[in-house]
Homo-oligomer: A and B are copies of this chain.
Amino acid sequence: MLGKDNATKPIKLIERTEKYKGHVITVYEDRVDIGGREALWDYIHHNGAAAVLPVTDEGKILMVRQYRHPLGRYILEIPAGKRDGDEEFKTCAIRELEEETGYKADSFEYLLSINTTVAFLDEFIEIYLARGLKPGKVNWDTDEELGVEIWELDDLIDLIRKGEITDSKTVAALMTYAQKEGK
């Protein structure tokens, strides 16, 4: 196996300097020791999030259309949101589904987890499959500009293949669900 020894080299943090305390992130510059050599790396801390793949009794998918500032447009994605403090990820998933779509669900089953950007960000998202959906009343955060839409899984997979759905949690959740269901 190539580089087997290289891939076990110990890496140590020497010093962490806070560079920016943001609204949902904190940005640091880390000085690290890589087996005797020093390097400076960016490190961004995020408190984590949960996302939900909500599947209707007819097998359709509940999606949200939301403005995403870094992309400068509204995009189609699964419901998701940041954890409050040290909230359990599943509790966060249940809360965000209801806040963003108004729907409650009979069951929340763990689907998968992702780290969005392993090179410089510790953001971690747990994704749940929600079934037994019951419509209710939405409760949007003041900063959320979104709409709720119901889609066929096949059409969403087509949009991923065409590069029209690119949000990493949404792609990971839909493709993992499709693979699991043999779709």
Among A27, A69, A71, A182, the most chain B Cβ lie within 10 Å of the Cβ of: A69
**Counting chain B CB atoms within 10 Å of each CB, which of A29, A138, A166, A183 scores highest?**
A166
Known: A22-B19, A27-B22. A166 touches B114 (CB 8 A): yes
Known contacts being A1-B148, A34-B145, A121-B121, is A7 close to B65, with CB within 8 Å? yes
A14 to chain B, nearest CB (A): 12
- Chain A, interface size category, equals 35 or more
Q: Flag if B114 contacts A168 (CB, 8 Å).
A: yes
Main secondary structure of the interface of A (DSSP, over half): mixed
Chain B residues near A83 (CB-CB < 8 A): none
How many protomers of this protein does the assembly include?
2
Known: A11-B67, A115-B168, A167-B115. A25 touches B146 (CB 8 A): no
Complex contacts, A172 vs chain B, CB 8 Å? 168, 171-172, 175
Q: Which residues of A are at the interface with B, using a C-beta cutoff of 8 A?
A: 1-4, 6-9, 11, 19-20, 22-25, 27, 29-30, 32, 34-35, 37, 39-44, 65-71, 74-75, 77, 101-102, 112-124, 138, 140, 142-143, 145-149, 157, 160-161, 163, 166-169, 171-172, 175-176, 178-179, 182-183
